[in-house]
Amino acid sequence: MPLLESLAIDFCINLVSFPNRGLPAPKLSSLWVWGCEKLKALPEQMHTLLPSLQSLRLSSCLKIQSFPEGGLPSKLRTLEIWNCKKLVGGRRGRGLQTLPSLTRFTLSGGDVVESFPEEGLLPSTLTSLHIERMPNLKALIKSGLQLLGSLKYMEIKQCPQLKSLPEGRLPTSLFVLRITDCPLMKPHCKKEEGEDWHKIAHVPVIIMDGEAFFDQVHLGFHVKLSCSRRYFLEELNLLPSLKFLQHWSKRCNSNGVYLSNLLCFQLHGFKLKRLITVGGMNRLVLFFVMLELVKHCELSIVRLLFDHPV
């Protein structure tokens, strides 16, 4: 498969293994394996046979216990593990810290996980970390987080037993902290009152169950939106999560009459406590564009467009 660049394997319920000699696809950049409940292992020799792999997503592969011998490809940038219980349970010592290009990691669905991340599990290159649907997670490990000196975006979601953050501050590099459906943690992180507020007060953007605090963020825009709106939005459409901007870019005029429609689409999960002026709407749109860019590790675009040292 010398020309294959993307491969998705969905709900192949009888798939037990890949070919014995691995999966030779030198140009493959994206691999998604989803709902293959009988699959026992990933392809062999991934680090040599898939040298171009940048994105690996595993979902509901219940029998996969470990990564292949030799580890994962060195160019891997995104790793997402969803509901792979045995792989999550045997995550220690899997060599993720040796991946020099890994910037985005998601761990979701693991009822065996009570603490995370272990020291040395994740690489210092990580900029985006997502911890989701961990019903028994009770503690975040200080030593595992403090080593993440490049971390910009951290999301903790649906962890009902997680009560507090680790001692000391979260990494000083952190730009966005998002906490959703963690009822025991919410009072601890209440602005200026919670026991853990001092641990996160340095984070410029904090989003707690849809309520955003971003007093430290100054949205200075280098390129005037009114003069270059169409070019700007077309560039951002390279990000999958911002595809909805394409419709707006084709229809809006210089006065931005469709701006309110865009806000309704993007802000459905957020609480707005006050009316917003037209100028304020422009700035709020830019704010949420910035969040998406940070989340997807597009930091160079953020540095170019916004007056903030992300």
| CATH code at position 144 | 3.80.10.10
Which residues, 6+ apart, have CB-to-CB distance to 247 below 8 Å?
Answer: none
Instruction: Tell whether 38 and 179 lie within a shared domain.
Output: yes
Closest CA to 149 of 167, 124, 169, 170: 124
- Give CA separation, 307 vs 71, 174, 226, 236, in Å: 39, 16, 18, 18
Res 263: pLDDT: 37
Instruction: Tell whether 249 and 146 lie within a shared domain.
Output: no
Helical residues (DSSP H) of 16-141, grouped into ranges = 46-49, 85-89
Res 300: pLDDT: 60
Contact 175, 294 (CB under 8 A): yes
Residue 142 lies in domain:
6-213
The last residue of one of the domains, among 213, 237, 263, is: 213
Give dist(CA 116, CA 82) in Å, integer. Answer: 15
Q: pLDDT digit of tens for each residue in the chain (310 aa)?
A: 788 999 999 999 899 999 888 889 999 999 999 999 999 999 999 999 999 999 999 999 999 988 888 889 999 999 999 999 888 766 554 568 889 999 999 999 878 889 999 888 899 999 999 999 999 999 999 999 988 999 999 999 999 999 999 988 899 999 889 999 999 999 999 888 999 999 999 998 888 887 777 765 554 433 333 323 333 333 443 444 444 443 434 344 433 333 333 333 334 344 444 444 445 555 555 666 667 667 766 666 555 555 445 5
Q: What is the pTM of this model?
A: 0.78
Instruction: Tell whether 102 and 151 lie within a shared domain.
Output: yes
How many domains would you assign to the chain?
2
Contact 224, 292 (CB under 8 A): no
